[in-house]
Chains A and B, each alone.
Chain A
Amino acid sequence: GQQLNQSPQSMFIQEGEDVSMNCTSSSIFNTWLWYKQDPGEGPVLLIALYKAGELTSNGRLTAQFGITRKDSFLNISASIPSDVGIYFCAGLDTPNTGNQFYFGTGTSLTVIP
């Protein structure tokens, strides 16, 4: 299967700091989704990206679809304690794998008040 690597694997930051994380793939995707997962719960959709170079915001979150189509980035500005959780990227390569999303390895975020 396709490999999606997220970095960093984990982050410990002070409340109020900005956060950047990324997701890289061994192959091209034409859709990227970013999710947040709290312990014991299902992933919650944050942002969807459909076009190379696209930059999309959702409140304090901004995500970008990389120009090469092999990567995507998520930024969180002015972090707050409720940002704690695991962030997953998910990629879709419609022409080749149709309906099958591949999930990244996750970035665990801890916000220190």
Chain B
Amino acid sequence: EPEVTQTPSHQVTQMGQEVILRCVPISNHLYFYWYRQILGQKVEFLVSFYNNEISEKSEIFDDQFSVERPDGSNFTLKIRSTKLEDSAMYFCASRGSFTYEQYFGPGTRLTVT
């Protein structure tokens, strides 16, 4: 069964460093998302991406964040200068064109020290 994959599973970085989180969405999906979940809290929407551009973003997704689809399979989230409060699980999700059913990847645990 097709699934969303994410790498790395765990990333440790120092405050102020740049990180890139990678996702491979399900192959025939066209809508891509990034979410964040701080430990013990609910899942929070960051950004949605369709047709090579951002379609929506939340107030969390400030200038420090960017997304890219560098090729036909990868979807990345970049945090330019990480802060301690960026420590969280980051989930990628994707969906097809004719359904709103989003499928999540296993997540990347980001730890900023």
Q: Which residue of B lies closest to A35 (CB)?
A: B104
Contact B56 A98 (CB under 8 A): yes
**Docked pose: A98 CA to B59 CA in angstroms:** 16
Q: Which residue of B lies closest to A97 (CB)?
A: B56
Residues of chain A at interface, number, CB under 8 A: 26
CB of B104 to closest CB in A, whole Å:
4
Q: Which residues of A contact B33 (CB under 8 A)?
A: 99, 101
A97-B56, A104-B42, A105-B42 known; A42-B106 Cβ under 8 A: yes
Interface residues on B, range: 20 to 34
Q: Which residues of B contact A35 (CB under 8 A)?
A: 104
Contact A101 B102 (CB under 8 A): yes
Q: Which residues of A contact B58 (CB under 8 A)?
A: 1, 100
Contact B100 A100 (CB under 8 A): no
Q: Which residues of A contact B89 (CB under 8 A)?
A: 40
B residues near A (Cβ < 8 Å) are: 4, 31, 33, 35, 42-45, 48, 50, 55-56, 58-59, 89, 91, 99-107, 109
Given contacts A31-B100, A48-B100, A90-B102, could you give 18 more A-B pairs where the C-beta distance is less than 8 Å? A1-B59, A33-B100, A40-B107, A42-B4, A42-B105, A43-B43, A43-B91, A43-B104, A45-B104, A88-B42, A90-B43, A94-B100, A99-B50, A99-B56, A100-B56, A103-B44, A103-B45, A106-B42
A residues near B (Cβ < 8 Å) are: 1, 31, 33, 35, 40-45, 48, 50, 88, 90, 92, 94, 97-106
